[in-house]
C-alpha cells in the first residue's frame, strides 16, 4: 500500500513537472511570437510611412545617416536599437512614442479620421494676427528691447 502511494505521488510530481514545463514552453513560444508580430507590425509601419511620403529606400540613408544596406536590412527583418529607431522616425517626419493601451483606440481613430494616415494632428499656434501685424508694419518691434511700455526711459 505504501509503495502504491509513493508511486502515485511520484506520478503526480512527474505530471506537475511535465505540465509546468509544457506551460513554460508555451508561454515562451507565445512571447516570441508576440515580439515577432510586434516587430513585423513596426517594420510594416515604417515601410508604410516611407511610402506615404513617396520616399524610396535609397532616399532614407541621406535622411537618417546610416548606410543603404543597413536601412534595407532594418526595414526587411531588422531589430533596430532605440536610437536607430528614433533616427528612422525622424527621417520619416515622425516620433517614436509609447501609447497607453487604454488610449490606443482613440489614437488609431484619430489617425484614421485624418485620411492621409500620415501623422497625429498637432495643434499649431495661431500666428495669423502676428503675421498681419508684421505685414502692416515690418519695422515694429525691431529696435525694442522687449519692454513695450518703457518708451526709451
Show me where the domains of the chain are located: 14-116
Q: Are 107 and 45 in contact (CB under 8 A)?
A: no
Mean pLDDT score across all residues of the chain: 74
Give tens-digit pLDDT for 19-29: 777 777 777 77
Q: What is the DSSP string of 108-145?
A: HHHHHHHSS-S-PPPPPP--HHHHHHHHH-TTTTSS--
Q: Residue ranges of the chain with pLDDT lower than 70?
A: 1-8, 30-40, 115-153
Helices within the chain (DSSP H only): 2-52, 60-64, 68-77, 82-91, 101-114, 128-136
Question: pTM of this prediction?
Answer: 0.48
Maximal CA-CA distance, the chain: 108
Q: Give CA–CA dist 62/57, Å, rounded.
A: 10
Res 33: pLDDT: 62
Residue/partner pairs of 33-40 with CB below 8 Å, 24 or more apart: 39/79
pLDDT of 122 reads: 47
Are the C-beta atoms of 121 and 110 separated by less than 8 Å?
Answer: yes
Which class would CATH give 14-116? mainly alpha
Amino acid at each position: 500500500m505504501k509503495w502504491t502511494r509513493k508511486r502515485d505521488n511520484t506520478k503526480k510530481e512527474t505530471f506537475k513537472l511535465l505540465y509546468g514545463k509544457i506551460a513554460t514552453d508555451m508561454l515562451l513560444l507565445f512571447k516570441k511570437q508576440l515580439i515577432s508580430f510586434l516587430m513585423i507590425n513596426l517594420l510594416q509601419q515604417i515601410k508604410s510611412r516611407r511610402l506615404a511620403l513617396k520616399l524610396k529606400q535609397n532616399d532614407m540613408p541621406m535622411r537618417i545617416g546610416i548606410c543603404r544596406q543597413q536601412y534595407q536590412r532594418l526595414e526587411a527583418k531588422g531589430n533596430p536599437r532605440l536610437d536607430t529607431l528614433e533616427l528612422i522616425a525622424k527621417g520619416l517626419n515622425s516620433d517614436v512614442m509609447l501609447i497607453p493601451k487604454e488610449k490606443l483606440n482613440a489614437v488609431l481613430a484619430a489617425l484614421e479620421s485624418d485620411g492621409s494616415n500620415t501623422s497625429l494632428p498637432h495643434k499649431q499656434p495661431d500666428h495669423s494676427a502676428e503675421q498681419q501685424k508684421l505685414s502692416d508694419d515690418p519695422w515694429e518691434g525691431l529696435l525694442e528691447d522687449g519692454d513695450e511700455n518703457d518708451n526709451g526711459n
